Amino acid sequence: MARKQKNEHGVIGSLFKINLNNSGHQSKSFLHVFFGLYFCMDIFEKLRVLSGSARYDASCASSGSTRQGLAGSLGNASIGGICHSWSDDGRCVSLLKVLFSNECCYDCAYCVNRRSSDTERASFTVEELVELTLRFYRRNYIEGLFLSSAVLISPDYTMERMNAVLHRLRRQERFAGYIHMKVIPGSSAGLVAQAGFLADRLSVNIELPSGESLRRLAPQKERESIIRPMAQLGETIGSSLIERRKYPSAPRFSPAGHSTQMIIGASPESDLQILRLSEALYRKMSLRRVYYSAFVPVSADNRLPVLNTPPLQREHRLYQADWLLRNYGFSASELLGEEAPFLDEHLDPKAAWAIRHPEFFPVDVNKAEYSVLLRVPGIGVRSARRILAARRFSSMTPEGLKRIGVVMKRARYFITCSGRYPERFSDRPSIIRKQLIAAGDSPVSAPALSGQLTLPGL
Amino acid sequence: MLTYCYDGSTEGLFSAISHILRHEPDPGAAVLRKQGYSLFEEGIFIQADSKRADEMIRRFSSAYPRNARDVLFCVYAEQDGIETSLLHYIHLVARHGSGISGHLTHPAVSDIRHLSGKVAREVHRFKGLMRFSMLEDGSYLARMEPDFNIIHPLSLFFSNRLQAQNWFICDVHRSLVSRWDGKSLDFGTIESFIVPELSAQEREVQALWRTFFRHVSIPERRNERCQKSFMPIKYWKYLVEKQ
């Protein structure tokens, strides 16, 4: 198979050579053409293998950083992020998401690139990856680079290579687009610090939600080797922000913050445990985002659960709950309790909370403050803000609410408009529950949520 | 209710709005239409006056920059029938200040904000979906067929992002073109269009991009409905990865 593809690229390669010779406007030596040909043949294989093994990383955000293009530089960064395409699985493609190498010396059970897997192996050279990024960026295919890697030889060896790519891009090619880089767990603090001044966002993947599961499934990764760089990032990002307030010209350190990812469904942790961990990460490590990645069975290892399909619905509910933690003022213990530690598959977590708390409703949309409006199902961040702005001019009616984008088929059971009920609040939660489920969840399925949203401050 | 009409040009539109705001005692009750929009009802025709229109746009933009953006985006939309709402919106802003844009239950405010939101979304979409290809002479060309006339904001965006290369952006249906030569941005129209020869490198890079696109998606999560809802098929024509 591999050989056949090589031949195809050989044809493209020879075309390339002929065109180069015919066009004649570049006087290249034979050696140059030869190397061009070699580059052309090999790079397709590498890109195929190394994008294929990077695809299980959920994050593709290009938001959180803003940078104007300067004379002689290439690119800029836009605060809300920009999606450039959507792949066949519905996830957004914003960055050139690749591994530097998938030749791994670790053997993590859940990972497609583990040492014992018989997958094809490849590594980029620094030049190849830099050239690829620039060529794609100039054609507006991408917003920048997402660089991760398997542990090639040792964590520090790998990080040095990755840093070299970033350094070439930023300092030599004056690339001002977005760069997200994964920190290799166990790499030294000095290399992490170096990367922070080159990338827009750094992140360390937790992968598994507990130390216990990590020991069982990823024996070479220690909990400490993940937490330490994460704490370092949290602290340095914070102190860099303070410093930049004093001296605006001080260098930025990972200006778009840091994030992490957890695999859902490869280990036995409950949603409550996962959300508590996320909450702690947001509070103590000041993370921007936690990504959840439904486990895609990639090996028949007997330490892993047997799944027919990835748990997409569970991933979807976790993202919704995560949104409630970050933007809606909910806490993990409000959403779930020890007696019911998993999210309802059929109902979104905010509606589920509302049904459990009839004493909180109905909410008067003409009087309630922002934080109260946010707790009403069918009212989101945007419509809550719009209600605050609009009710300064006139009092809100059900028709007015609809006009500004409130989802009335969900909100109607929980609100009044200055005493007028669009729907009398029933004291029988089971009926409301049925009607909310019938009213339907948003038809967009899980992968959509891992894409980009342009809420401010993410 | 007084009906006014104008010649259909942007200058004419703003001349008329300026005239009505000055001379009409209750602009909030006036109606403004393009001439010939309705067969039976013709109103008072206001002659286009570029000086007056410029003056009006300049003063409004400097006093209310955020509202001016809404107005500008509605002009990009090139949509007939929005003129009366524009008139009422500008009148409301001039009278009550920029905060009136939050009065979303007002029909004119809601019309304007809704339409400008649609245009803003398309501009944002094209910042991502525009595809440049390298021509034989080393310059880059992007072709697009947007719903709204958004070549202006997009060209400004790319003149910052891709300032180190020469490029053209071409709005195929409207026959509009913009050119960046590394220093300045020009706009113009095109008579006819011949697809120029691509550079040798271009085919290789496009094939690389398709390779990447194919392998970055997870087969177990295949979800084309979701893909199409974010990236409607009408945009696929110029997407390298969809050819």
Q: Dump the DSSP string for A128-149.
A: HHHHHHHHHHHTTS-SEEEEE-
Angle at A253 between CA A201 and CA A248, to 5 degrees: 130
Residue whose token pair is 């598994």: A208
Burial of A153 (0-12, 13-18, 19+ CB in 10 A): exposed
pLDDT at A42 over 90: no
| Chain A: residue whose CA lies nearest to B161 | A75
The predicted pLDDT at position A424 comes to 67
Integer Cα distance of A378 and B191 in angstroms? 50
The percentage of chain A sitting over the pLDDT mark of 90, rounded to a whole number, equals 60
pLDDT at A13 over 80: no
Q: Clarify whether residues A263 and A182 are in a common domain.
A: yes
Identity of the residue in A16, A296, A389 whose CB atom sits nearest the CB atom of B200: A16
pLDDT band, residue A302 (cuts 50/70/90): confident
CA distance B54 to chain A (A): 30
Six-digit token pair at A10?
A: 């050989």
Of chain A, the end-to-end C-alpha distance in Å amounts to 43
Using one digit for the tens of pLDDT, what is the confidence trace for A341-361? 999 988 999 999 999 998 898
Do the chains contact at A87 and B209, CB–CB below 8 Å?
no
Q: Clarify whether residues A72 and A45 are in a common domain.
A: no
* B164 vs A contacts (CB less than 8 Å): 72-74
Low-confidence ranges of chain B (pLDDT < 70): 1, 37-41
Integer Cα distance of A268 and A208 in angstroms? 10
CA distance B117 to chain A (A): 12
| Chain B: residue whose CA lies nearest to A62 | B128
pLDDT at A40 over 60: no
Q: Is residue A79 part of a domain?
A: yes
Q: Is residue A273 part of a domain?
A: yes
CA distance A197 to chain B (A): 21
DSSP helix/strand/coil, A292: strand
Do the chains contact at A97 and B216, CB–CB below 8 Å?
yes
pLDDT band, residue A134 (cuts 50/70/90): very high
* B102 vs A contacts (CB less than 8 Å): 386, 389-390, 392-393
pLDDT at A307 over 70: yes
* A51 vs B contacts (CB less than 8 Å): 211-212, 215-216
**In Å, how far are A168, A414, A415, B228 from A378, measured between CA atoms?**
48, 9, 10, 25
| Chain A: residue whose CA lies nearest to B236 | A85
Using one digit for the tens of pLDDT, what is the confidence trace for B37-85? 666 667 889 999 999 999 999 999 999 999 999 999 999 999 988 999 9
Q: Is the dihedral of CA A416, A417, A419, A423 positive or negative?
A: negative
pLDDT band, residue A421 (cuts 50/70/90): confident
| Exposure string over A394-427, b if 16+ CB within 10 A, otherwise e | eebbbebbebbbbbbbbbbbbbbbeeeebbeeee
| Chain B: residue whose CA lies nearest to A403 | B105
pLDDT band, residue A427 (cuts 50/70/90): low
Q: Is the dihedral of CA A77, A82, A84, A87 positive or negative?
A: positive
pLDDT at A243 over 70: yes
Do the chains contact at B105 and A86, CB–CB below 8 Å?
no
Tell me how far the alpha carbon of residue A405 is from its chain's centroid. 27
Q: Clarify whether residues A302 and A183 are in a common domain.
A: yes
Q: Clarify whether residues A315 and A205 are in a common domain.
A: yes
Q: Clarify whether residues A398 and A262 are in a common domain.
A: no
pLDDT band, residue A379 (cuts 50/70/90): very high
* A296 vs B contacts (CB less than 8 Å): 218, 220-221
Count A/B contacts: CB-CB distance under 8 Å: 187
* A147 vs B contacts (CB less than 8 Å): none
The percentage of chain A sitting over the pLDDT mark of 70, rounded to a whole number, equals 86
DSSP track, A331-377 = -HHHH-BTTB-S--SSS-HHHHHHHH-GGG--EETTT--HHHHTTST
Tell me how far the alpha carbon of residue A199 is from its chain's centroid. 15
Phi, psi of B42 (to 5 degrees): -110, 145
Do the chains contact at B231 and A85, CB–CB below 8 Å?
yes
Identity of the residue in A19, A55, A80 whose CB atom sits nearest the CB atom of B217: A55
Q: Is residue A375 part of a domain?
A: yes
Q: Which among A18, A67, A89, A133 is the top mutation candidate for probing chain B, defined by the most B β-carbons within 10 Å of its own β-carbon?
A: A89
Using one digit for the tens of pLDDT, what is the confidence trace for A163-220? 999 999 999 999 999 999 999 999 999 999 999 999 999 999 999 999 889 999 998 8
The predicted pLDDT at position A301 comes to 79
| The CA-based dihedral angle spanning residues A205, A210, A211, A214, taken in that order and rounded to the nearest 10 degrees | -60
Q: Clarify whether residues A61 and A38 are in a common domain.
A: no
Q: Clarify whether residues A157 and A292 are in a common domain.
A: yes
Six-digit token pair at A281?
A: 């990460």
Q: Is residue A340 part of a domain?
A: no
Average pLDDT across chain A, whole number: 84
* A384 vs B contacts (CB less than 8 Å): none
pLDDT band, residue A313 (cuts 50/70/90): very high
Please provide the size of chain B in residues. Answer: 243
* A76 vs B contacts (CB less than 8 Å): 160-161
pLDDT band, residue A25 (cuts 50/70/90): very low
Q: Is the peptide bond before B232 cis (omega within 30 degrees of 0)?
A: no
Angle at A41 between CA B130 and CA A170, to 5 degrees: 50
Identity of the residue in A72, A140, A447 whose CB atom sits nearest the CB atom of B132: A140
| Chain B: residue whose CA lies nearest to A72 | B164
DSSP track, A145-193 = EEEE----SSHHHHHHHHHHHHHIIIIIS-B-SEEEEEPPTT--HHHHH
pLDDT band, residue A329 (cuts 50/70/90): very high
Integer Cα distance of A190 and A184 in angstroms? 13
**In Å, how far are A136, A147, A164 from A126, measured between CA atoms?**
16, 12, 7
Beta strand pairing call for A144-148 and A178-182: parallel
Beta strand pairing call for B176-180 and B167-171: antiparallel
Secondary element (H or E) of residue A205: none
pLDDT at A34 over 90: no
pLDDT at A24 over 70: no
Q: Which residue has the higher pLDDT, A300 or A213?
A: A213
Identity of the residue in A135, A447, A454 whose CB atom sits nearest the CB atom of B223: A447
The predicted pLDDT at position A318 comes to 96
Q: Clarify whether residues A262 and A409 are in a common domain.
A: no
Q: Which among A33, A97, A139, A308 is the top mutation candidate for probing chain B, defined by the most B β-carbons within 10 Å of its own β-carbon?
A: A139
Integer Cα distance of B85 and B63 in angstroms? 20
Q: Which among A15, A57, A88 is the top mutation candidate for probing chain B, defined by the most B β-carbons within 10 Å of its own β-carbon?
A: A88
CA distance A270 to chain B (A): 23
* B231 vs A contacts (CB less than 8 Å): 85-86
Lowest-pLDDT range, A19-28, A54-63, B105-114, B147-156? A19-28
Residue whose token pair is 């009550």: B96
Q: DSSP strand E in A30-102: where?
A: 85-86, 92-93, 95-99
Among the candidates A335, A367, A386, a domain finishes at A335
Which residue intervals of A210-348 are DSSP H helices?
211-217, 223-246, 271-284, 312-327, 332-335
Six-digit token pair at A274?
A: 């996962």
| Exposure string over A36-49, b if 16+ CB within 10 A, otherwise e | bbebbbbbbbbbbb
Lowest-pLDDT range, A36-40, A111-115, A161-165? A36-40
Identity of the residue in B110, B218, B227 whose CB atom sits nearest the CB atom of A86: B227
Secondary structure string (H, E, C) spanning chain B:
CCEEEECCCHHHHHHHHHHHHHHCCCHHHCEEEECCCCCCCCCEECCCCHHHHHHHHHHHHHHCHHHHHHHHHHHHHCCCCCHHHHHHHHHHHHHHCHHHHHCCCCHHHHHHHHHHHHHHHHHHHHHHHCCEEEECCCCEEEEECCCCCCHHHHHHHHHHHCCCCCEEEEECCCCEEEEECCCCEEEEECCCCCCCCECHHHHHHHHHHHHHHHHHCCHHHCCHHHHHHHCCHHHHHHCHHHC
pLDDT band, residue A447 (cuts 50/70/90): very low
* B223 vs A contacts (CB less than 8 Å): 88-90, 445, 447
Do the chains contact at B209 and A56, CB–CB below 8 Å?
no
pLDDT band, residue A14 (cuts 50/70/90): very low
Residue A376: which region, alpha, beta or left (left: phi > 0; alpha: psi -120 to 50)?
A: beta
Q: Which among A60, A140, A379 is the top mutation candidate for probing chain B, defined by the most B β-carbons within 10 Å of its own β-carbon?
A: A140
Number of domains observed in the structure of chain A: 3
Q: Is residue A457 part of a domain?
A: no
Phi, psi of A321 (to 5 degrees): -65, -40
| Chain A: residue whose CA lies nearest to B156 | A69
The predicted pLDDT at position B36 comes to 76
Do the chains contact at A138 and B132, CB–CB below 8 Å?
yes
Lowest-pLDDT range, A135-139, A334-338, A435-439? A435-439
**In Å, how far are A11, A86, B203, B242 from A46, measured between CA atoms?**
17, 22, 18, 21
DSSP tag of A101: B
Lowest-pLDDT range, A89-93, A234-238, A423-427? A423-427
Domain that holds residue A267: 54-335
pLDDT at A29 over 50: no
pLDDT at A305 over 90: no
How many helices (DSSP H) and strands (DSSP E) are in chain A? Answer: 17, 10
Instruction: Find, among A213, A231, A327, the residue nearest to A270 by Cα.
Output: A213
The predicted pLDDT at position A426 comes to 62
The predicted pLDDT at position B156 comes to 96
DSSP tag of A306: P
Q: Is residue A23 part of a domain?
A: no
Q: Clarify whether residues A206 and A126 are in a common domain.
A: yes
